[in-house]
Structure 1
Amino acid sequence: MTQSAAACQGPQPSNLALFRQRLPRKPYHTDRFGDGLRIRDVQKALTSRYIQFNGPTHCYWLVYDIDRNGAVLDWYDRGAPPPTIVAQNPDNGHAHLIYGLEVPVRTAPDGKSGPLRYAAAVDCALRDILGADIGYAGLVCKNPLHPHWRVTEWETRLYTLGDLDSWLDLNSYSDRRKRLPDYGLGRNCTLFEKLRLWAYKAIRQGWPDADRWYEAVLTRARAYNDFESPLSENEVRATAKSVAKWTHRNLSDDGFRALQAERGRAGGKASRGGGRPLGKNLLKSDVYESVVTLKNSGMSNRSIAEKLGVSASTVFRYLQDRKNKGAP
């Protein structure tokens, strides 16, 4: 079951080969953290002891830093799922436990927020059961294709999130109203939620052009990336780009002014006793846009339904449809 990474010049076990295939095109890498991280072509980066294992938009591997002697088997004693790959330091027994996902989770915010939140909950719970280092930044890991490390493969089959869930207790992370811990994928969720809520309001303060708006969103994203172990610059840029693009396209000055005018006309009619609720005066597509805009402004579903004169179930259905389309 154990195979040294020194044999990587010959035929590789399937998951080590997959690890190589999934690496970013130009990953961060280093031999010693004191020298800082460099970015180079993957072929050159592979000669380093530490390498970036996930890109800024997808999570293929969940990696945990175990700073205890005997980490290669410690997971078994804790009742955790067997890792896909373990890269162990032969000098002190510390290791990185690497879990491969069958279907990668899209971490860029144009992906579905539900799967990302679920993956983040699994990530947090797995870290808990393993007793892994919460200060681990999760950007680079011990390169299992480098001969310096003692490499072991355990589970040959890649995991689904459901597979990992069956080993874990997610009760502490199931309440979507609560913020996830600021490590692992929880940081991606927190950054996206804080950034999009800020952007929905901030874009109305001048309606800047696309380039200026992106710079403003990126500046704010960097400020929000104040975690104890911050996300990489590439991940922050990917999140800022997605939020800036969606808000600039969907929350335009003209669209917001038209909604405000329509709300004003409806309010005037209602005050004279001769008007109908706003939703009765709009086409279905207009109601949809009004629901989205009012939700983005911070109104509750019930308040939106009362304002537009539609049912609460209609508001819920429109918002669910928007979420399924991947909008922030």
Structure 2
Amino acid sequence: MTNPALDLFNDRLPHKPYFSDDLHFGVRIAGKERAILAKYIQFNQPHAMFWLGFDVDRLGAAIDWSDRNAPAPTLTITNPENGHAHLLYALKTSIRTAPDGKMKPLKYAAAVENALRKKLDADVGYSGLICKNPNHDYWKIAVWQPELYTLDWLADSLDLNAANDKEIVADYGLGRNCTLFDKTRKWAYRAIRQGWPEYDQWSQACYERACAYNLQFAMPLDDNEVKGIAISITKWTHSQFTKSSFEDYVIKTHTSSIQSLRGSKSKGGGRPSLNNPWAELGVSRATYFRQKSGK
């Protein structure tokens, strides 16, 4: 008997997933044909999330989502010994986790993910890399929702404050991608002005900085994701932040500030201010009175 949810799970597996038969010995990587036989398996693509996955460590985890008024998971994979489960929500459109697109949709997805985690009271320390493999006979699986979810559909049943940044946990799930991108780009905006390095040198510097920030997470991102973020920031900053463009910006800003001071008007019919005549001359107050007294 075919199981459409299980078929969907297998179709969406990476070509070379991480897998493990015993998590005490870590994970390995192999072709899908080998990995699909393992007890645990990587269920999302390296740069695309087709599933939102949650780890719920309590008895009855596979069914108490209903008591919490949470949306029904697509699939639950339960440990028959203790009732703990992984809950998977299948998305109609995958979430692009490499920063080659706009950050706003990623932040929205991170906010939805975290709001759903809170609703389910799922483990905040779950990395989301691997899950219990529903193909393995050891686990008990159940299908609850055959339709694929959109983020908006999920958000309708969640307490989501317009998907703002406050609803994103910096060290959880997609929040890590958002945090790593934001921290690295803010560093890059300042650092590139210190010497205006060549592209290769700058690329290495961005990657090393992103790696350093990534290590601050309790569950760091995969190196491929870190590289993708670093490359995106490298390309954009190296093309947009040049020595000549920065010097032009400084000159324009300085000129604009002077013109603004010289063009100050009082509220009385556009006449020059009588209270600050030094501003009209573009000099300091002390200089104005020194020149006026002839000293």
TM-score range, shorter chain: 0.7 to 0.9
**Where does residue 106 of structure 2 map in the other structure?**
116
1:26 matches 2:20? no
Is the Cα contact below 8 Å between 1:85 and 1:153 reproduced in 2? yes
Letter in 2 for 1:222: C
User: Match for 1:105: what amino acid?
Assistant: I
Q: C-alpha offsets along residues 7-28 of structure 1, whole Å, 9 cap, x if unaligned?
A: xxxx642222222122222221
CA distance in 2, matches of 1:146, 1:21: 16
**Alpha-carbon distance in 2 for matches of 1:55, 1:243:** 22
Aligned pair 1:197/2:198, yes or no?
Answer: no
Counterpart residue number, 2:277: none
Q: 1:259 aligns with which of 242, 245, 249?
A: 249
**Match status 1:212 vs 2:201:** yes
1 or 2, which has the higher helix percentage? 1
**Does the aligned pair in 1 maintain the 2:110–2:175 contact within 8 Å?**
yes
Residue 44 of structure 1: aligned partner: 34
| Runs of 5+ unmatched residues, structure 1 | 1-10, 275-328
Residues 140-168 of structure 1 show CA distances to partners (whole Å, capped at 9, x for unaligned) of 11111222211111100010011111111
Give the paired residue count: 262
Q: Which 10-residue stretch deviates more, 146-155 or 245-254?
A: 245-254
What TM-score does the superposition give when structure 1 sets the normalisation length? 0.74
- 1:46-75 Cα offsets, whole Å, 9 max, x none, are 121111112232221100001112211111
Q: Distance in 1 between matches of 2:168 and 2:65?
A: 27
Q: Relative to structure 1, is the Cα distance of residues 252 and 43 closer, same or farther in structure 2, using a 3 angstrom cutoff?
A: farther
**Which residue of the other structure, out of 63, 66, 70, is the alignment partner of 1:73?**
63
Task: Name the CA shift for 1:146/1:260 in 2 (closer, same or farther; >3 Å).
Answer: same
Aligned partner of 2:73 among 79, 83, 90: 83
Instruction: Say whether the 8 Å CA contact 2:112–2:163 is kept in structure 1.
Output: no
Which amino acid is the alignment partner of residue 147 of structure 2? R
Does 2:150 correspond to 1:160?
yes
Q: Structure 1 residues 95, 271: closer, same or farther in 2, change over 3 A?
A: closer
Write out per-residue CA displacement over residues 115-159 of structure 1, whole angstroms, 9 at most, x where no aligned residue: 111111111110011010111111111111222211111100010
Distance in 2 separating the partners of 1:212 and 1:142: 42
Name the % identity.
50
CA distance in 2, matches of 1:192, 1:20: 30
Determine the C-alpha separation between the residues in 2 that align with 1:152 and 1:250: 51
Residue in structure 2 matching 1:170, options 133, 152, 160: 160
The one-letter code of the counterpart of 2:31 is D
Aligned counterparts of 2:7 and 2:167: Cα–Cα separation in 1: 38
Shift in Å, 1:242 = 1.3
Question: Of the candidates 169, 174, 181, which is equivalent to residue 180 of structure 1?
Answer: 169
Using the TM superposition, give the Cα deviation of residue 175 of structure 1 relative to its aligned residue in structure 2, in angstroms.
Answer: 3.6
Q: Distance in 1 between matches of 2:242 and 2:136?
A: 51
* C-alpha distance in 1 between matches for 2:4 and 2:88: 14
Mapped pair 1:151 → 2:151: no
Quote the Cα distance in structure 1 between the aligned partners of 2:84 and 2:166: 36
> Higher Cα Rg: structure 1 or 2?
2
